[in-house]
Structure 1
Amino acid sequence: MHGKPAKWPELIKSGQRIFIGSHAAVPHALIADLLANSNYLHDVEIVQVAAFGNNRWAEPEYLRNFKINSLFIGGEQVRKAVAEGRADYTPTFMSDIPSLFTDEILPLDAALIMVSPADEHGYHSLGVSVDIVSAALRSAKIVIAQVNPQMPVTFGQAFIHRGQIDALFYASEPLLEIQPPALDPITERVGQYVSLLINDGATIQIGFGKVCEATLRYLNNHKDLGVHSELITDGIMDLMLSGVINNRKKTFHQHKVVTSFCIGTQRLYDYVNHNPHIGFYPSEYVNSPANISRNENMISINSAIEVDLTGQVVSDSIGYQFYSGIGGQVDFSRGASMSQGGKPIIALPSTAANGTISRIVPHITEGGGVVTSRAHVYYVVTEFGVASLRGKSIRERALELIRVAHPKFRPQLLEEVRKHYYVPHYQVQTPVEIPELGEVGFKKIEINGEAYDLRPLNPSDERRLQEFFYSHTKETLQMRYNTIPTQMNREKSCNLVSVDQSKDLALCIVRQRGSMSQIQAVGRYYLSHDGKNCEAAFVTRENSQGKGMAKLLLTEMIRIAKLRGVRTMLAFVRAENQKMLAVFEKAGFVRLPADEPGEVTLELVIV
């Protein structure tokens, strides 16, 4: 049937279930014609995911005609309808939606979609949204398509033959554009931290929103990135144009971006048009965790509404109010965790409501639902840093997440979580930043061609410091402590890592490989009561000695002490510890008369 559908009553009947195209490929002109001729209809169920543009069918005036069943809530009209009970929300993984249609759990009577004009072979392209549209048109008894000459032609598995379409409706209309969001300093900092977790050659999946856009803007200096993502945006396009994304290191669909839909500006829609370097595939293929994991070094980046101190992620609801949906977050978190070298990341600002509400919470808000479980997420990122959760106990997770919460909420979070014995009674100090380390709060350093992090010791390092202590030989313990301590229990280790870094200073050099973290050296100074003098000390793991770590730590400690107005730094070193003495003396320390035999006192005048 060509041209305008003859009569809607021949195509859509009361009580049926129909699907409408998704994201930027909503056939608005086609739906407008249906709405204008819908008086005869009642109790039609509309199945949809996010449908950009005016969702007029969600308004109360059409309540008698249509009832929405949204598999992902997008837009205020649908959100309001769900909140008022005029529409339903069905939570499901994006990868599972196609089987709801094909297995007839949600059998479709009709699918209303948008396509490009047919090519010389009779094939129309699904354009900017293949996603679940592909399964819907295969499952629906009737396919009704708006043929839009402004729809881009995309490649991959994006084509449908005109023989599969029962009714054609010709209408030209521009695709809805979504402009890149304006970024604020907090969001930019979150994006900066996320970018530090992405290595050259990685394959990325990116969600939608300010945090994800900020991350893309901080990837300009990366090399050889690839993309396997249910969604691509203008930010992905810009990185492809600059050569940052070239897909040459991908291990699945090498040299090609793999996606299922795109949303953005007209620039993006023009860019994907007839672009052989981008493949649009169905959601059951793109979002399959098994397929995602075939990309080595797969990085999934998604946002959330709140994260509790055990690592549970809420992203589809605010309390009892359903806000969005599950989408592809779990699909990609699982796929990235199965990937060799993969990293599932949740990124979010630490607060909401103009800083009045913490998004790192002691327990999930009543009514809220867990989308991504405690075991799915490796990293949680806020503007205050990166919390590493993989392999961490509940105690360690709580301390890691408190560390990236907003400082004004940390004492409250610690107090709340102690009620449930997630952290012990002796844990009283919350993490304190060292602003002198710079905006990101740590430094990447390279020693003999190997990468390390120089950062503050944190309360969550309790077990790592304990392991560090037990790695020492008797000789190292004798040189550092002037005795040979035989035990470093958890309480003592906790006291050593729980430092008020605004007064005393405790730094460490860490070998970080993904979620693996091992302390290589620790340097600290203790400030005198008058704040004018301090005492410095450090110790290095045996297999890292001789690499200059002590020198690096001491240089940083002197720099910070000077910025803080400390006048002198003292050190007490055993006379036979010639290597340690050399480190101090090369830094400008001079020997003073010693009170204890066998011990050398050194002093550095800083200001």
Structure 2
Amino acid sequence: MTPLDESRDNVNWSKYLKSGNRIFIGSNAAVPNALIDNLIANSEGLHDIETVHMLTLSENVWAKPEHKDLFKVNSLFIGGKNIREAIAEGRGDYTPCFISDVPRLFLENSLPLDVALIMVSPPDEYGYCSLGVSVDIVSSAVKAAKYVIAQINTKMPRTNGHSFVHVNQIHDWINVDQDLPQVIPPEFDQRTEQIGQYVAMLIENGATLQIGIGKIPEAVLRYLGNHKDLGIHSEMISDGVIDLMLKGVINNRRKTYHKGKAVITFCIGSQKVYDFVDGNPHIEFYPSEHINSPVKIAKNDNMISINSAIEVDLTGQVVSDSIGYQFYSGIGGQVDFVRGASLSKGGKPIIALPSTTKDGKISRIVAHITEGGGVVTSRGHVSYVITEFGIASLQGKSIRERALELIRIAHPKFRDQLLADVRKHYWVPEYQESSPSSVPELGAIEMKRFNFANVNYILRPLAPADERKLQEFFYSHNKETLIMRYNHHITQMTREKSCNLVSVNQHTDLALCFTRRDYLGEAIQAVARYYFIESINSGEVAFVIKESLRGRGMATTLLAEMIAIAKIRKLDSLIACVRRDNASMLKVFERSGFIRQPSEDFDEVSLKLALNEPSSVEQNLPESSNNDID
């Protein structure tokens, strides 16, 4: 028998609290609402009690206007109607902080706690209660507070890890059962689906994930069903993670830290989530100072952090906790995991957001941060930003390159204005004449994944931000390649020339490339394009393939994609001029259905493919082209 076996339905608050004290309220899905109600009912003589907490999934009755003399809200992460309104109206405060730092605020007396109000499971035979679905900063509050008062809830799951509190750490309690709040997985719209697909393309087999709750994280999880050996090191998990664990996609086998275990600080979701974590030895809950430590996060190789934002400016600054002067959420664990993933071997920190507000009237990719908005993740921390229009890779990019990358993934109706705005500050030179355009015929997400000789490559449109990549690609060619492509030994590719080649109006002309991503970044491996000739409704085709990758099917695959797009655009034909001594390229065209035409130049062969006639291109695609993701 333990001391908590005695049933209680009331707390003698005068024994633990006095006016002006600071109390902690349990987090997320573990808010001890019955304790709060009991305190309010027995609050006579108490005033100005400061409440400190993170996100609290409840009615947040302590933040209602009628309790403003009893409680003063101090939220470390804003969530819920009453909390947000209290802060907006000046009745409450928001304290910005990294979640990994909150335990220090409690334990080192920056925010000393008088009383911690928590919810726990009933004690086991050894006298240990479990903090259940929310260990996070509750664990440090228990250690730091002078008094700990608990709501014993038989519906609270017993979770494994560092989630236990002994009865001798609890000074008083009440026994009240309470259903845990459920957050049902959201419905997806098309743009959320596309964001999910783009994020999934950056996740390799064997990666370890940090993922949150909401439409975008759930959409990402939906597109990971064919991945293998994924792991979890995350602040939280929800329904989508459970589904992938049940399928064996998430098995934690290839993790390099906490191998074999999914480690988290809390969970939120439907009842299915709470049932799944109850007694599950494969999921362990740890305090925030452990899970959110960037140093510990970085111990996971191939760590992928996926976070969202309210807006991102064209230098890469991320606003996540405020809409102008209105504080909306909090810093949370975003910076902890962005930094941890950046330090991880093979890691990728990702910021994912829709390109516009819900009504489509405001761009969330902005030339400058909205007045009053605050930077949560600095431009120096950002590596990838994703919208429904693509992936912007910012790591190692100059301000000019970042601006062009981010304009490319902005909504098309805002791109020209964004380009005009950055010109005012000379971030983009005058020879950069046009904003990026898209190739919707390439598929919903305008990217496809191919595998050649067991190496993964991405096929995508060439974009203005590729100016430097195209220069590097050009200077990687040998003399023979330059002669074959340009008909003479060209020795320089200026910025202006490179800019002109990547500034393509993709609605009329077409320029595609194969790229490869590795720890050094993204590099162009092949380029294919056609130039539209309006007078004959045709496109003139040209290719350059990296010397070491020839003969693997890249040219044939690129040509097949261009033929397919040209047919959709109702071109009558494609034409090409190839040096007579370029036997391998002639073979590529002829295998794809091109027919030799009379030519006035003996050194060149003219070829033509009539697009309104059957083509044999589908018969000649390399096997690897079946691996596209569309």
TM-score, length of structure 1 as denominator length = 0.98
| Matched-pair contact (CA < 8 Å) for 1:390–1:515 | no
Question: Which residue pairs with 1:169 in the alignment?
Answer: 174
Question: Which residue pairs with 1:593 in the alignment?
Answer: 598
Quick one: structure 1 residues 531 and 162, their matched pair in 2 at CA, closer, same or farther if it must change by over 3 Å? farther
Question: Which residue pairs with 2:324 in the alignment?
Answer: 319
1:328 aligns with 2:333: yes
Out of 107, 111, 131, the residue aligned to residue 112 of structure 2 is 107
Which amino acid in the other structure matches residue 376 of structure 1? H
1:554 aligns with 2:559: yes
Question: Which residue pairs with 1:124 in the alignment?
Answer: 129
2-side partners of 1:531 and 1:226: how far apart? 55
Deviations 1:554-579 (A, max 9, x none): 22222221221111222122222222
Which amino acid in the other structure matches residue 493 of structure 1? S
Question: Which residue pairs with 1:96 in the alignment?
Answer: 101
Out of 472, 479, 484, the residue aligned to residue 477 of structure 2 is 472
Question: Which residue pairs with 1:26 in the alignment?
Answer: 31
1-side partners of 2:200 and 2:50: how far apart? 42
2-side partners of 1:101 and 1:114: how far apart? 19
Question: Which residue pairs with 1:304 in the alignment?
Answer: 309
Question: Which residue pairs with 2:619 in the alignment?
Answer: none
Question: Which residue pairs with 2:509 in the alignment?
Answer: 504
Out of 201, 226, 229, the residue aligned to residue 224 of structure 1 is 229
1:171-210 to structure 2, matched below 5 A, reads 171-210=176-215
- SS in structure 2 at match of 1:392: coil
Which stretch shows the higher mean deviation, 237-246 or 78-87? 237-246
Which stretch shows the higher mean deviation, 597-606 or 482-491? 597-606
| CA displacement at 1:436 relative to structure 2 | 1.8
2-side partners of 1:480 and 1:447: how far apart? 23
Quick one: structure 1 residues 6 and 331, their matched pair in 2 at CA, closer, same or farther if it must change by over 3 Å? closer
- SS in structure 2 at match of 1:357: coil
- SS in structure 1 at match of 2:244: helix
1:564 aligns with 2:569: yes
User: How many residues are matched?
Assistant: 607
Deviations 1:263-303 (A, max 9, x none): 11112111111111111110000101111111111110111
1-side partners of 2:38 and 2:407: how far apart? 53
Deviations 1:400-437 (A, max 9, x none): 11111111111111111111111111112222211221
Which amino acid in the other structure matches residue 310 of structure 1? T
Out of 137, 141, 150, the residue aligned to residue 136 of structure 1 is 141
Question: Which residue pairs with 1:488 in the alignment?
Answer: 493
Question: Which residue pairs with 1:57 in the alignment?
Answer: 62
Which stretch shows the higher mean deviation, 565-574 or 493-502? 565-574
Question: Which residue pairs with 2:288 in the alignment?
Answer: 283
Question: Which residue pairs with 2:360 in the alignment?
Answer: 355
| CA displacement at 1:580 relative to structure 2 | 2.2
2-side partners of 1:588 and 1:52: how far apart? 62
Question: Which residue pairs with 1:393 in the alignment?
Answer: 398
Which stretch shows the higher mean deviation, 43-52 or 317-326? 43-52
Which stretch shows the higher mean deviation, 116-125 or 587-596? 587-596
1:334-483 to structure 2, matched below 5 A, reads 334-483=339-488
- SS in structure 1 at match of 2:86: helix
Which stretch shows the higher mean deviation, 391-400 or 554-563? 554-563
Question: Which residue pairs with 2:620 in the alignment?
Answer: none
Which amino acid in the other structure matches residue 39 of structure 2? L
Which amino acid in the other structure matches residue 236 of structure 1? V
| Matched-pair contact (CA < 8 Å) for 2:513–2:524 | yes
Which amino acid in the other structure matches residue 396 of structure 1? E
Deviations 1:421-467 (A, max 9, x none): 11111112222211221112122112122221121111111001111
1-side partners of 2:558 and 2:604: how far apart? 22
- SS in structure 2 at match of 1:424: coil
| CA displacement at 1:6 relative to structure 2 | 4.6
Which amino acid in the other structure matches residue 419 of structure 2? L
Which amino acid in the other structure matches residue 410 of structure 2? A
| CA displacement at 1:593 relative to structure 2 | 2.4
Which stretch shows the higher mean deviation, 2-11 or 175-184? 2-11
Question: Which residue pairs with 1:252 in the alignment?
Answer: 257
Which amino acid in the other structure matches residue 566 of structure 2? A
1-side partners of 2:498 and 2:151: how far apart? 67
Measured on the aligned residues, the alpha-carbon RMSD in Å equals 1.3
Q: Percent identity?
A: 62
| Matched-pair contact (CA < 8 Å) for 2:321–2:328 | yes
Which amino acid in the other structure matches residue 159 of structure 1? F
| Matched-pair contact (CA < 8 Å) for 2:10–2:38 | no
| CA displacement at 1:514 relative to structure 2 | 5.5
- SS in structure 2 at match of 1:512: strand
Which stretch shows the higher mean deviation, 523-532 or 168-177? 523-532
| CA displacement at 1:507 relative to structure 2 | 1.2
Which amino acid in the other structure matches residue 369 of structure 1? G
1-side partners of 2:596 and 2:78: how far apart? 70
| Matched-pair contact (CA < 8 Å) for 2:511–2:528 | yes
1-side partners of 2:487 and 2:514: how far apart? 23
Which amino acid in the other structure matches residue 384 of structure 1? F
2-side partners of 1:579 and 1:175: how far apart? 66
| CA displacement at 1:257 relative to structure 2 | 0.8
| Matched-pair contact (CA < 8 Å) for 1:194–1:215 | yes
2-side partners of 1:141 and 1:176: how far apart? 28
2-side partners of 1:186 and 1:552: how far apart? 28
Which stretch shows the higher mean deviation, 349-358 or 544-553? 544-553
| Matched-pair contact (CA < 8 Å) for 2:11–2:38 | no
Quick one: structure 1 residues 500 and 172, their matched pair in 2 at CA, closer, same or farther if it must change by over 3 Å? same
1-side partners of 2:173 and 2:44: how far apart? 22
Q: Which runs of 4+ in 1 moved over 4 A?
A: none
Quick one: structure 1 residues 111 and 531, their matched pair in 2 at CA, closer, same or farther if it must change by over 3 Å? farther
Which amino acid in the other structure matches residue 169 of structure 1? I
2-side partners of 1:177 and 1:541: how far apart? 53
| CA displacement at 1:13 relative to structure 2 | 0.6
| Matched-pair contact (CA < 8 Å) for 1:378–1:515 | no
1:524 aligns with 2:510: no
Quick one: structure 1 residues 470 and 77, their matched pair in 2 at CA, closer, same or farther if it must change by over 3 Å? same
Deviations 1:108-153 (A, max 9, x none): 1110111111110111111111110010011110111111111111
1-side partners of 2:166 and 2:594: how far apart? 81
Which amino acid in the other structure matches residue 163 of structure 1? N
Question: Which residue pairs with 2:625 in the alignment?
Answer: none
| CA displacement at 1:531 relative to structure 2 | 5.8
2-side partners of 1:25 and 1:291: how far apart? 26
1:77 aligns with 2:64: no
1-side partners of 2:349 and 2:541: how far apart? 39
TM-score, length of structure 2 as denominator length = 0.94
Which stretch shows the higher mean deviation, 174-183 or 344-353? 174-183
| Matched-pair contact (CA < 8 Å) for 1:388–1:515 | no
Question: Which residue pairs with 1:41 in the alignment?
Answer: 46
Which amino acid in the other structure matches residue 467 of structure 1? E
Which amino acid in the other structure matches residue 467 of structure 2? E
Out of 560, 581, 584, the residue aligned to residue 579 of structure 1 is 584
2-side partners of 1:237 and 1:587: how far apart? 46
| Matched-pair contact (CA < 8 Å) for 1:5–1:167 | no
